Amino acid sequence: MNTEELQKLREDYSKNALNESEVDANPVKQFEVWMEEAADAKVPEPNAMTLSTVDMQNKPHSRVVLLKGIEDDNFIFYTNYESDKGREIESNKHVALCFLWLELERQVRVEGTVEKISTEESEGYFKERPYKSQLGALASNQSSVVPNREFLEDRFEEMREKYNEGEVPKPKSWGGYKVTPEYFEFWQGRRSRLHDRIRYEKVGNKWDIKRLSP
């Protein structure tokens, strides 16, 4: 697809509206409403979110991970602590999340700080994962260079031969993080590019709610 064809790609959004007088005073509750609506609308993997981190050279990096819980207004996800994102989080606790639900013409941005959850919580979730997902986490040294696909599949088979279902140990380098939000932006597509943007910003113990220009 050439530049001219790309420039012609556009949609005029008209499905919903978002008014500051109607949103919940707590952005996490507002997020949960939208997440439920995305699930009800059969949006594929509505819990998929872009996670952005910054490395020690101040270079940003983004990738898609899955939201696996909301606890005490914190957003929970799991990964390998020794992965690129894990090392970047270790050096810079500030992260950004972005959810996109195109079917509803909606986007949510979340910014905040991140920290590890307890080992006990990570152990509990790991035990609930499907057997093959457990083996995959054990077989993969995430973000490390491997010679080929066969190497990974051989490692997977080694783990399957070594551990029966229900016996797979959680890797020490694998576990959960929680993001404590400090900023939200709820974006609702509207006609003529006059989109609705509602911002929540933490001021002390309260959330300040403002409308932003699209």
Q: Helix or strand or coil: residue 210? A: strand
Using an 8 Å Cβ cutoff, are 208 and 201 in contact? yes
Question: Other C-beta atoms within 10 Å of 121: how many?
Answer: 17
Q: Which of 193, 197, 199, 211 is catalytic?
A: 193
174-194 burial: b if 16+ Cβ within 10 Å, else e: bbbbbbebeebbbbbbbeeee
Strands (E), 72-169: 74-80, 94-101, 106-116
Measured between its terminal Cα atoms, the distance across the chain in Å is 28
Q: Helix or strand or coil: residue 115? A: strand
Using an 8 Å Cβ cutoff, are 165 and 131 in contact? yes
Which of 195, 43, 191, 5 is CA-nearest to residue 109?
195
The gap from C-alpha 135 to its chain's centroid, in whole angstroms, comes to 22
193 catalytic? Reply is: yes
- What amino acid positions are annotated as catalytic residues? 193
